[in-house]
């Protein structure tokens, strides 16, 4: 089976090279077909790998450089179900996006398809790799194709600014990670994750290992858009073409979270074991701050893509907090959140593309009521929003139920409430925008919200039916993914394997095989826990209240409004002004954040 | 001596970031990033350095001859290749910014915020 491991990466990369080589020769139709066929093949192989990895971990040693006597010199792809699941999710989104862009981006050059395929190949490689330097290379390849895609519309200033902010902050993040990798190599002489972990062993971590951990994790947090490294994300999303946003929000940000988990459990879990509480507290705090700040900023947006971007930041915070609990159950919750949120958010961004073509603007105040003639799009928007709330048993509900269980075992029961507030406020902002656009409710003026520059709408000669279908597929998949029988049990088993450091090491370095884990997996129906269901309903209530406030806050008694303005406006202004759009400011936050995190860990652990 | 090299790596990283933070010119900003990146070369090469050892070319030398670590050198090379792509892209974006707005000051081109 191990021969199939490189294919989700190799197929799109080879196809991208082929498209560049034959760009001037073959007709456009053939080139499009090659691109879509390659994406479909890659996605199919990713699912084959996922199915096979459920039985036991899969390994591929490039060039046949197998480990000898437990020493790994070669580069490996080491695949367990969570890694394969990330690759399958990103490959699926790449396929959907390419089909969607077939008409949406028709007027753009072929370079667009090439970049999407490279991006997809890099994301799959990032998800599958078992080598930390190889991870850095995929990280940069993923980055550079994403920067180019974000700035693809070079005729406007907004995309250029978004792309530069994205590129500069993420490049500095990559250098931080690289320095961390260098320190790990200096200590262990190894680059394979299992080998590094094995060499560090169970000795408590010293300062060098702690600083290396802080550097590697900080670089990944930049990619995962965690406060205070999140600024680039909103700028990059506000100006990128909608299908590119779908990939950035649906898969790339989550890959940052994924690798924090990967590197923690393969390398740092044993050395940092005695310091578990310190690591947990800092990352939970960052996650909670990200979730709440993202939700607040989400509410203050009127530009749909920027609104969705802040909701992604908020969800990334929930993912980080869930992962930071360092509990396999909440890790399973994070995996489910990545799946459901990735599909739903990608679908919602694709809807933004449809709206841009139909209404020429995607600012909720500018197109107030203009969406009344688009009932299908409106229903899809509503369905996507509801999926993100976590009402039992749909959308992100299963994820939040598992997160809540993990949080309660670790003594962080209040985290579920934070999750409900954050999801509720974000969903409320989306409901408000939907109600304004598709129903014409509320005022068409709102001085709470931040205006953003317009983007050029694509020509109308696109197939709106195809675009809406693709968006609908993503949204419906995201809504019902949690209902797949046995998904809960399967992700739990997968998360336990993911967190089993010694088994991972035995598989990679000594070729030990797991037992047949899949044999015991039941196809059980989704179980609904009362507490989680109540949190889901609370989030729904918060969403409804937020949306109603957003639409009709002018009708509140004037005394209450004045008091609210006096209390809330100063902090809101400060937070809003921090998102200045100037790259130097973002780098200052990045450096200060890195130093603070490294200092806290180096001094307290 | 080795400590000095580590100190230099940290210093170069810090001045590169400082330059990028205060930069009022996108070309200058890109160059600051290459300075920052150079610190990773220094760090990597220092880690693999051994006193009195030769280059890691094992042709026509006695078995057991000391050599510096070739792995960090190839990591550095990969790092150079990967980062050149990023810097080239940022420079291309800076050119487009200048074409659109006649300015390369990141403070002046800011249209997205809040």
A267: tokens are 């390398």
- Which residues of B lie inside 8 Å of A (Cβ-Cβ)? 13, 17, 20-23, 26, 29, 33, 36-37, 39-40, 43-44, 47, 71-72, 75, 78-79, 82-83, 85-86, 89-90, 93-94, 96-97, 100-101, 106-107, 109-114
Q: Which of B93, B99, B102, B103 to mutate to test the interface with A (most CBs of A within 10 A)?
A: B93
More confident call, A167 vs B58 = A167
- Peptide bond just before A10 cis, omega within 30 deg: no
pLDDT-based confidence at A100, cuts 50/70/90? very high
For A326: left if phi > 0, alpha if psi spans -120 to 50, otherwise beta; the answer is left
Distance of CA A330 to the CA centre of its chain: 17
The partner residues of A76 in beta bridges, in order of sequence, read A61
Q: How far is B107 from chain A (nearest CA, A)?
A: 6
DSSP per residue, A233-262:
HHHHHHHS-HHHHHHIIIIIHHHHHHHHHH
| ipTM for the assembly | 0.96
Question: What sign has the CA pseudo-torsion A510, A508, A505, A335?
Answer: negative
A563: tokens are 């008091």
pLDDT-based confidence at A201, cuts 50/70/90? confident
Q: Does the reported pTM lie above 0.90?
A: yes
Q: What are phi and psi of A75, to 5 degrees?
A: -105, 135
Q: How far is A454 from chain B (nearest CA, A)?
A: 10
Using the predicted structure, report yes or no on whether residue A145 has a pLDDT greater than 90: yes
Alpha carbon distance A583, B109 (integer Å): 11
- Of A228-232, A263-267, A462-466, least confident by mean pLDDT is A462-466
Asked if A243 and A104 count as a contact pair (C-beta separation under 8 A), the reply is yes
Query: Are B86 and A581 inside 8 Å of each other by CB?
Result: no
A186 and chain B in contact, CB less than 8 A: yes
Q: How far is A383 from chain B (nearest CA, A)?
A: 28
Alpha carbon distance A263, A194 (integer Å): 10
Apex CA A293: angle with CA A290 and CA A294, to 5°?
75
Q: How far is A56 from chain B (nearest CA, A)?
A: 31
Mean pLDDT of A376-396: 94
Q: CATH code for B2-50+68-101?
A: 1.10.287.3510
pLDDT of residue A103: 86
Domain boundaries defined on chain A: 274-450+460-483+528-534
The string of pLDDT tens digits covering residues A400-435 is 999 999 999 999 999 999 999 999 999 999 999 999
Query: Are A300 and B114 inside 8 Å of each other by CB?
Result: yes
First to last CA, chain A: 42
Q: How far is B113 from chain A (nearest CA, A)?
A: 5
pLDDT of residue A274: 85
Mean pLDDT of A69-90: 94
Question: To 10 degrees, what angle do helices A157-188 and A193-200 make?
Answer: 50
* Residue matched to tokens 């992604």: A312
Contacts of A394 (CB under 8 A, 6+ apart): A386, A387, A479, A480, A482, A483
A595 and chain B in contact, CB less than 8 A: no
The string of pLDDT tens digits covering residues A277-311 is 889 999 999 999 999 999 999 999 999 999 999 99
Length of chain B (residues): 114
pLDDT of residue A518: 54
The partner residues of A129 in beta bridges, in order of sequence, read A77
Query: Are A167 and B89 inside 8 Å of each other by CB?
Result: yes
Best CA proximity match to B5, nearest among B36, B45, B32, B33: B45
Largest CA distance in chain B: 65
Asked if A586 and A232 count as a contact pair (C-beta separation under 8 A), the reply is yes
Apex CA A560: angle with CA A554 and CA A566, to 5°?
100
Chain A hits for B40, CB-CB cut-off 8 Å, are: 175, 178-179, 182
């Amino acid at each position: 089976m191990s021969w199939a491991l490189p294919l989700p990466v190799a197929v799109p990369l080879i196809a991208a090279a082929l498209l560049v080589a034959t760009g001037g020769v073959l007709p456009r139709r053939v080139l499009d077909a090659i691109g879509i066929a390659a994406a479909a093949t890659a996605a199919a192989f990713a699912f084959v790998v996922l199915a096979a990895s459920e039985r036991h971990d899969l390994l591929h040693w490039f060039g046949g450089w197998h480990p000898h006597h437990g020493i790994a010199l070669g580069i490996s792809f080491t695949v367990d179900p969570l890694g394969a699941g990330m690759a399958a999710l990103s490959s699926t989104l790449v396929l959907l996006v390419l089909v969607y862009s077939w008409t949406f981006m028709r007027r753009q050059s072929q370079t667009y398809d090439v970049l999407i395929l490279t991006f997809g190949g890099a994301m799959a490689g990032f998800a599958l790799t078992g080598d930390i330097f190889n991870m850095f290379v995929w990280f940069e390849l993923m980055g550079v194709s994403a920067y180019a895609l974000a700035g693809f519309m070079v005729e406007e200033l907004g995309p250029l600014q978004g792309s530069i902010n994205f590129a500069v902050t993420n490049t500095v993040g990559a250098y931080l990670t690289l320095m961390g990798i260098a320190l790990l190599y200096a200590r262990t002489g190894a680059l394979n994750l299992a080998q590094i972990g094995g060499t560090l062993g169970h000795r408590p971590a010293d300062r060098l290992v702690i600083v290396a951990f802080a550097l590697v994790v900080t670089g990944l947090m930049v990619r995962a858009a965690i406060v205070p490294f999140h600024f680039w994300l909103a700028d990059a999303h506000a100006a990128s073409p909608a299908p590119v946003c779908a990939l950035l929000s649906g898969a790339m940000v989550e890959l940052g979270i994924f690798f924090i988990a990967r590197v923690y459990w393969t390398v740092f879990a044993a050395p940092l074991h005695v310091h578990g509480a310190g690591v947990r507290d800092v990352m939970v705090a960052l996650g909670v701050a990200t979730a709440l700040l993202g939700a607040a900023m989400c509410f203050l947006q009127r530009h749909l893509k920027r609104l969705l971007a802040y909701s992604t930041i908020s969800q990334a915070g929930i993912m980080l907090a869930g992962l930071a609990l360092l509990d396999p159950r909440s890790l399973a919750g994070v995996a489910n959140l990545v799946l459901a949120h990735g599909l739903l958010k990608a679908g919602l961004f694709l809807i933004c593309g449809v709206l841009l073509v139909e209404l020429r603007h995607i600012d909720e105040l500018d197109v107030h009521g203009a969406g009344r003639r688009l009932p299908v799009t409106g229903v899809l928007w509503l369905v996507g929003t509801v999926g993100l709330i976590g009402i039992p048993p749909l959308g992100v509900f299963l994820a939040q139920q598992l997160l809540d269980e993990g949080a309660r075992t670790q003594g962080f029961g209040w985290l579920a409430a934070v999750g409900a507030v954050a999801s509720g406020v974000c969903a409320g902002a989306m409901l408000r925008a939907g109600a304004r656009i598709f129903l014409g409710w509320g005022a068409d003026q709102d001085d709470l919200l931040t205006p953003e520059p317009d983007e050029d709408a694509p020509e109308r000669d696109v197939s709106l039916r195809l675009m809406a279908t693709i968006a609908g597929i993503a949204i419906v998949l995201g809504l019902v993914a949690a209902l797949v029988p046995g998904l809960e049990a399967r992700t739990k088993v997968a998360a336990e394997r993911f967190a089993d450091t010694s088994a991972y090491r035995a598989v990679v370095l000594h070729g030990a095989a797991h037992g047949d884990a899949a044999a015991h997996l039941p196809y059980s129906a989704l179980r609904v826990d009362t507490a989680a269901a109540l949190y889901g309903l609370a989030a729904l209530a918060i969403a409804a209240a937020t949306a109603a406030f957003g639409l009709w806050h002018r009708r509140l008694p004037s005394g209450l409004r004045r008091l609210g303005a006096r209390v809330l406006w100063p902090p809101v202004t400060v937070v809003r002004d921090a998102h200045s759009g100037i790259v130097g400011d973002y780098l200052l936050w990045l450096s200060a954040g890195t130093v603070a995190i490294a200092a806290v860990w180096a001094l307290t652990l | 001596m080795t400590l000095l090299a580590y100190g230099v790596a940290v210093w170069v990283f810090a001045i590169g970031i400082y330059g990028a933070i205060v930069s009022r010119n996108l070309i200058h900003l890109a160059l600051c990033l290459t300075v920052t990146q150079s610190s990773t070369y220094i760090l990597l090469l220092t880690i693999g350095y051994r006193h009195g050892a030769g280059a890691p070319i094992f042709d026509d030398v006695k078995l057991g001859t000391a050599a510096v670590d070739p792995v960090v050198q190839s990591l550095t090379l990969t790092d150079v290749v990967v980062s050149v792509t990023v810097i080239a892209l940022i420079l291309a974006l800076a050119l487009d910014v200048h074409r659109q707005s006649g300015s390369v000051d990141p403070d002046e081109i800011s249209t997205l915020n809040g």
